[in-house]
Amino acid sequence: MKVYKFGGASVKDAAGVRNLLDIVKGEDELFIIVSAMGKTTNALEGVFEAMQLSDTALAMQRIDDSFSYHKSIIEELYNEGFVIEPVNALFDQLRSTVQNTIYHKSDAELWYDTIVAYGELISTTIVSHFLNVNGVKNEWVDMRRAFLTNARHKDANVNIEASELRLKREMEGSDKRVFIGQGFIGGAPDGTTTTLGREGSDYSAAIVANILDAESMSVWKDVDGILNADPKIFPDARKIERLNYMDTIEMAYSGAQIIHPKTIKPLQQKSIPLYVRPFGDKLAPGSIITGDVERAYEPIMIQKSNQVLLRLHSRDLSFVLEEKFGRVFSTLESHRIKTNLVHNSAVELYLSVDSSWHIDEVIAELEAEGFDVECRRDVVMVTIRYYNDDLYHRYGFDERIIIKQSTPHSLRFVRTK
Ligand code: ASP
Ligand code: MG
C-alpha cells in the first residue's frame, strides 16, 4: 500500500483534478488523502469569522461563493449543469449549521472545526466521484469515523492505536483497492468533528501510512521538492534532494511550509520514506526524507509569520524562572497557545507565540499572576539552521530585530514585519 497526499493547490481547478487522475491511474493499492480545494479552508475561515460577528447574511454569502467555485470545477470536469448530489447535500448541511448555531466564544474552536471540515468533505466527494467514473474505482472513507482524536479542537492529535481498528473497519467491507479520505479532520470522543491544525493533511496521510504499514508516502505539491528556503522571502532558494527526519521536523516546526510538523513522527516510527514530489511532473524525483540520510548542514532559512511577542516583567522582581515559569506555560497551554521561542533574564520573560483568539485572556491571567505584560502583535520569527558568517551578517543585523538567539547550529530572531 502507498499513501498519496494531494494538497489544496494540486486540486484547485479541474485541470488539477484531471492531473490527480493521471497520477493515480495504474496504481493498484493506494490510499489517497486530499485537502480542501484551492483556498477553500481560508474561505471557510471567512464563513466562521462572519459567524463570530453574528453576521449570518455575510456567512451565507461566503458559502454561496464557495459553492460557485466548486460548482464551476464540477461543470468543467463533466458538463454544464452537472450536479454531484452529495456535494449539494454537504453545502446544505453547512448552511443549516451556520443558520442554527448560536455562537459562544468559549466554543470558538469547536465551531471553527465544524465549519472548516466541509472543505475536505467536499473535495474528497468530488475527487472520489471523478475517479470512479474514470476507471479508478475507489471507496470514500469518512475520516471523522476513521480517526479518533482528542477533543483539542483546531489542533487535535490523533490516537493512532485507537484509530487503527477504526480505519481498518472502514476499509474492510470494501472490494476496492483504492481509498480516498479527507486530510485535516477527525472525530473527538464525543462525536464532534476536529481538525488537526492548518496544513494538517500531511499529518493525516502520515497516520494512515503508519497504520497501514505503507511502503511509502508521497506528498504531491506545486514545488519541485523541498527547498532550503522560501523563495518568496529568501532569494537563491535551492532544492534539497535528500533530508533526514530530524532536519525536516526542525524545519517544519520553525515554520517552513513544506510539511506539517506532526507528519514526521508517525513515519519515523515505521521507517516509512516520505517523498515530496511536483504534481506537474509525476516522473520527477522530488525530495526524499528518510532516517538514514546524513544531516543536511546546508543553510535552511525559514520564516514563521503571525507571531505575537509577549514581554512579561515580574512586578515584585521575583525571578521568573522559579515557580512562576511553570504557571506561565500552563496558562498558555490551557488556551492552546503554542510557544515558539523563549528568552529570559532575571525578571523578564519574552515569548514568541502563535497568534490566537485568546491572547487577551492570557494577558489578563498573566497580569493576575503578578506580571506586567507588553504585547506586540504581527511579528515574525526567522530561523536560519546551519547558518554561516555570511548569512549572519546578511540577516542578523536587521534593525527590525527585537530578539536574537544563536546556538552553534541555528540562528533565530523575532522581528517586526
Ligand atoms: N485544508 C487545510 C488547510 O488548508 C488542511 C491542509 O491543506 O492540509 O489548512
Ligand atoms: Mg490547504
Task: Look at residue 306 and give its three-state secondary structure.
Answer: strand
Distance (Å) of CA 281 to CA 222, 235, 239, 284: 10, 24, 15, 6
User: What is the crossing angle of helices 14-24 and 56-77, to 10°?
Assistant: 50
Is 249 a member of any domain?
Answer: yes
Same domain, 18 and 113: yes
Instruction: Find, among 258, 255, 263, 154, the residue nearest to 207 by Cα.
Output: 263
Please say if the pLDDT value at position 238 is more than 90. no
The CATH number covering residue 381 comes to 3.30.2130.10
Same domain, 198 and 270: yes
Domain stop point among 272, 290, 308: 290
Same domain, 194 and 46: yes
Q: Which atom of ligand 1 is nearest to the CA of 199?
A: 8
The CATH number covering residue 179 comes to 3.40.1160.10
What gap in Å lies between CA 353 and CA 350, rounded to an integer?
Answer: 10
Question: Mean pLDDT for the chain?
Answer: 94
As given in the structure block, the three cell numbers for residue 247 are: 532536519
Q: What are residue 383's phi and psi, to 5 degrees? A: -120, 130
Same domain, 315 and 261: no
Q: Relative to the alpha carbon of 143, which ligand is closest?
A: 1
pLDDT (mean) for 82-88: 98
Is 402 a member of any domain?
Answer: yes
pLDDT at 416: 96
Same domain, 264 and 326: no
Same domain, 210 and 283: yes
Report whether 405 contacts 413 (CB < 8 A): yes
Is 295 a member of any domain?
Answer: no
Q: Relative to the alpha carbon of 182, which ligand is closest?
A: 1
Counting Cα atoms < 13 Å in the Cβ hemisphere of 202 gives: 22
Domain stop point among 263, 290, 317: 290
- Enclosing domain of residue 337: 300-416
- pLDDT tens for 290-307 read 998 887 668 888 899 999
| Cα-to-centroid distance, 116 and ligand 1 (Å) | 9
Cα dihedral 72/76/77/79 (nearest 10): 100
As given in the structure block, the three cell numbers for residue 45 are: 475561515
Distance (Å) of CA 348 to CA 324, 331, 333, 371: 11, 17, 20, 9
Same domain, 271 and 335: no
Is 230 a member of any domain?
Answer: yes
Same domain, 161 and 250: yes
Distance (Å) of CA 331 to CA 325, 334, 350, 358, 378: 10, 5, 15, 11, 21
Residues with CB under 6 A from ligand 1: 7-8, 35-36, 41, 119, 183-184, 198-201
Q: Which one is predicted more confidently, 252 or 207?
A: 207
Same domain, 115 and 155: yes
Q: Relative to the alpha carbon of 120, which ligand is closest?
A: 1
pLDDT (mean) for 68-95: 98
Domain stop point among 290, 324, 352: 290
Q: Are strands 239-240 and 410-416 parallel, antiparallel or unpaired?
A: unpaired
Q: Could you tell me where the DSSP H helices lie in 25-149? A: 40-52, 56-77, 85-100, 108-116, 118-133, 143-146
- pLDDT tens for 127-157 read 999 999 999 999 999 999 999 999 999 999 9
Instruction: Find, among 9, 3, 44, the residue nearest to 195 by Cα.
Output: 44
- pLDDT tens for 339-359 read 999 998 888 999 999 999 899
Is 237 a member of any domain?
Answer: yes
Nearest CA to ligand 1 atom 7: 199
Same domain, 32 and 132: yes
Count of the separate structural domains present in the chain? 2
Same domain, 251 and 306: no
Q: Best mutation site among 41, 45, 263 for ligand 1, i.e. most ligand atoms within 8 A of its Cβ?
A: 41
Is 133 a member of any domain?
Answer: yes
Nearest CA to ligand 1 atom 5: 199
As given in the structure block, the three cell numbers for residue 125 are: 466527494
Is 63 a member of any domain?
Answer: yes
For residue 307, the cross-strand partners are 354, 379
| Cα-to-centroid distance, 34 and ligand 2 (Å) | 9
pLDDT (mean) for 174-196: 97
What region does 386 belong to: left with phi over 0, alpha with psi -120 to 50, or beta? Answer: left
Is 33 a member of any domain?
Answer: yes
Same domain, 271 and 307: no
What gap in Å lies between CA 3 and CA 7, rounded to an integer?
Answer: 13
pTM over 0.85: yes
As given in the structure block, the three cell numbers for residue 414 are: 523575532
